[in-house]
Structure 1
Amino acid sequence: MSALSFPCTIFTTKNRMDDFGAKDMCCGDLSAEQLKRDFQLSDVSYRVDPFTLTRKNYLQVPAYRASAWNMKSISKQECTNILFDELRDYAKAFSFYGPYRDNIIEMITHMQHKKGLDFSSSRLDTALREQILTDQSRESSSWLLLQKALTKNIDWENYYYPLKNKGKLTEAIGKSRLPKFDRIQDRFNGMGISVHDTWATKISIKSLRIEGNRFRAVVHYKVQDHFGLDNQDIQNWKFREIRLFRIWFVLQRYSQFAFKPFMTNMEATIEITGDRDVKKT
């Protein structure tokens, strides 16, 4: 019987990596009229009107008169700079504690200046690894289900993993809850606003060592997300009511701005150990 050779990819999502055709990767495809009519985005920013390229200066007037805006014409460059500054300010409400709180600021600035280039950082890789290892959903934790599948399907008499049982590993991951950042703490630590859900995942076993009644597997996760908004995002009233998302959507999708969304790449390597007589959890 043949053995499975390593490194070996055991799982990939239906969503593929580097999918620039995804809906949230659209850019500069909407007019001012469409944004106002179809997405109710007449009021975007507190500081500027992106459609008339004017800056709003609030006028102090007597109590018996209505308050008013003094509109000052500005350049498109100045307008987008103000919008990005405002976007960073609003993002702080979703990212104010922990080691990952600066991720969203860095990613907004990346969108502003890097013209759609992929984004990666050691902080994101650390956050991914921590999420995998601390996953509390024990019945659907990807690494725990993989541990069980390895324990059950290793040929313990001959010290290898049978090639015919490769599908058992894929099946185990398919039943799991893949890494994402939708926990309560992610609403405030910067991971929910910067990544939240993920688009594509690839999981590989880099090596498997079996000695006696124990094994040690080195497993690599590659995860990709899109830093961009699709129509459905902004049509959800919960998001549309938040200025951060209105500004983000206009910067990305308005034909006169067209700041490119980008791929967010994360990687993590973990070690899974177990023994022949491991108890079921």
Structure 2
Amino acid sequence: MTSQSDDFNYPFPPKHHKGYWITAPMTYEEAVQAFHAQSEKDQMMMKNPVGNSPAKTESHDFPFPPKRSMFWENDTSYDVGYDEAVNLFSGQDPTKQSMMANPLMSQAEQGLADRQQEVRDRILQTKEERLSNDTWLPVQAEYPVLIYETQRQMNDESAPDMLFGDESKQKIQNYGYNQPFRGYYSEREGYHMPGEDQFTLSVQEHLSRMRSLASAFSWTGVTKDVYDEMVDKFEENQGGHFTSVLLDEALKEHSTTKVFHNKLKEIISNHLFKNQYSLNESILNESSTELSDSNSGVSLPKFNEDIDIYNGTVLCVHDVWAVKVYADKLEYLNNKIRGTLRYEIQDHFGLDSPDVNHPSPFGNWLNKYELSKGFRSWYILQHYANYAFRPFFTDINFMLELR
């Protein structure tokens, strides 16, 4: 039989390759024996017996390396083996075992480790004591509390942009500079030239022109398709209410909402400080007065940024009509407050005469909606008595934290 030495060209690494034998399913010596126990054919084919044995597993719950680690062959710091180390660990008191104290450490090393643990324990205890002292107390109130509301009310069907079927052809034709509802105006001739009669177009043609507004005002961002959904509802001619989680999130994250919310937090904080951290009905008057102040007040949340012109939000919701803000829960700690405010915001998907009646040729042409076929069709469908399509309420709701 061939000599079983490290110099033999076996199909596995030599004995000094410790990294391989730590994870191998057998020791080097067992692998040599298993190799020579194979048939001559398998030996000639250099078949590796190491790969044919199940992997060894070892449970290890001690604060030192496992038995098969090179630590026990190369480290000379300790004069004990793995089995002796296990016995030393098991002989410790239960407290040290639970703390995974290493019995191989010197007294100095163990003392340093114990002191470090004591420091960590004191830091944790101090933190827990501080947290127990920092107790947030409830603001006294009967929740939910109405914190703010606009003078204009929710669900106001008498609002001008909620009216429908209320105007004659002759009245509408007189709207706007050059009266685009009538036809088109010839500057050279000085009078209106004959054109299509917009008041006899089919409903589908008017709706198509309404939808065409999306190509100019609703073509980018996550809210770009909301306008089409609103036109679909308008086409149903049922009125009612419309909601969209996309509009909710867009207005919640809008810069004007953040400014309004921060101002409202300031008003609430001042109110609580003056009233021994109880919330009373005077908060409504205080919030209304301060938010509408010409110097220190802020505007209501609304879509007014440049990107809003193109992501459909201005087309869907221009200036909001009514706002209510409720406090669902408030707490205080020293001069800090925290809690949750619930926003209820409403606008109208409808037009009124100021939207399409701009007699002056001066000013921003983008705001002269009567110059667009889409807006003229929208207004005619809603207000001309022969169509009388119903506008509807757009409801936007979200929660914001006070921190």
Change beyond 3 A, Cα 1:198–1:119: same
After superposition, the CA RMSD in angstroms is 2.7
1:256 aligns to what? 386
- 8 Å CA contact 2:243–2:396 kept in 1: the answer is yes
Q: Which of 242, 245, 249 is equivalent to 1:126?
A: 249
More helix per residue: 2
Structure 2 match to 1:135: 256
Which has the larger displacement, 182-191 or 172-181? 172-181
* Counterpart residue type for residue 158 of structure 2: G
Mapped pair 1:42 → 2:182: yes
Deviation of 1:152 (Å):
3.3
When residues 258 and 169 of structure 1 are mapped into structure 2, their CA distance, relative to the original with a 3 A threshold, is: closer
Query: Which one of 173, 183, 202 corresponds to residue 324 of structure 2?
Result: 202
Whole-Å separation in 2 of the counterparts to 1:156 and 1:18: 35
What is the rounded CA distance, in whole Å, between the counterparts of 2:402 and 2:239 in structure 1? 36
CA drift at 1:213: 5.2
Matches within 5 A, 1:49-128: 49-53=197-201, 79-128=202-251
1:31-74 Cα offsets, whole Å, 9 max, x none, are 22332245531249xxx744344xxxxxxxxxxxxxxxxxxxxx
Distance 1:145 1:176 in 2: 8
- From 217, 235, 239, give the equivalent of 2:357: 235
Q: TM-score, normalised by structure 1?
A: 0.76
Distance 1:227 1:5, change over 3 A: same
Task: Give the distance between the partners of 1:5 and 1:13, measured in 2 at CA.
Answer: 21
| Residue pair 1:220, 1:270 contacting (<8 A) in 2 also | yes
User: 1:172 deviation in Å?
Assistant: 4.1
Give the 3-state SS of the residue equivalent to 2:302 in structure 1: coil
Code of the residue aligned with 2:342 in structure 1: it is H
Deviates more, 1:161-170 or 1:109-118: 161-170
**What whole-Å deviation, never above 9, does each CA across 1:185-231 have from its counterpart, x for those lacking one?**
11111111110101111111111022455421201111111111111
For CA contacts below 8 A with separation 6 or more, give which structure has more relative contact order: 1
Q: Deviations over 1:161-201 (max 9, x none)?
A: 35376344444444332111122111111111110101111
Take 1:100 and 1:123, find their aligned partners in 2: how far apart are those partners?
Answer: 6
For residues 157 and 121 of structure 1, the distance between their equivalents in structure 2, rounded to whole angstroms, comes to 39
Is contact 2:199-2:380 (8 Å) kept? no
**1:155 Cα deviation after fit:** 4.5
Q: Return the TM-score normalized by structure 2.
A: 0.54
Give 2:337's aligned residue: 215
Corresponding residue for residue 279 of structure 1: none
Aligned match of 1:163: 280
1:8 alignment partner AA: V
Shift in Å, 1:154: 2.9
Write out aligned runs for 1:21-32 (5 A).
21-32=158-169
Q: Partners of 1:270 and 1:162 in 2: how far apart?
A: 18
For 1:163, what is the secondary structure of its paired residue? coil
Taking the aligned partners of 2:370 and 2:175, their CA distance within structure 1 comes to 12
Any conservation in 2 of the 1:11–1:173 contact (CA below 8 Å)?
no
Rounded to whole Å, the distance in 2 between the matches of 1:152 and 1:120 is: 34
Cα separation, 1, equivalents of 2:322 and 2:382: 22
Query: Counterpart of 1:68?
Result: none
Query: What is the rounded CA distance, in whole Å, between the counterparts of 1:89 and 1:135 in structure 2?
Result: 28
1:154 maps to which residue?
272
Is structure 2 residue 386 aligned with structure 1 residue 266? no
1:246 Cα deviation from its structure 2 partner: 0.7
Gaps of 5+ in 1: 54-78, 274-281
> Which runs of no fewer than 5 residues in structure 2 stay unpaired?
1-138, 185-195, 360-367
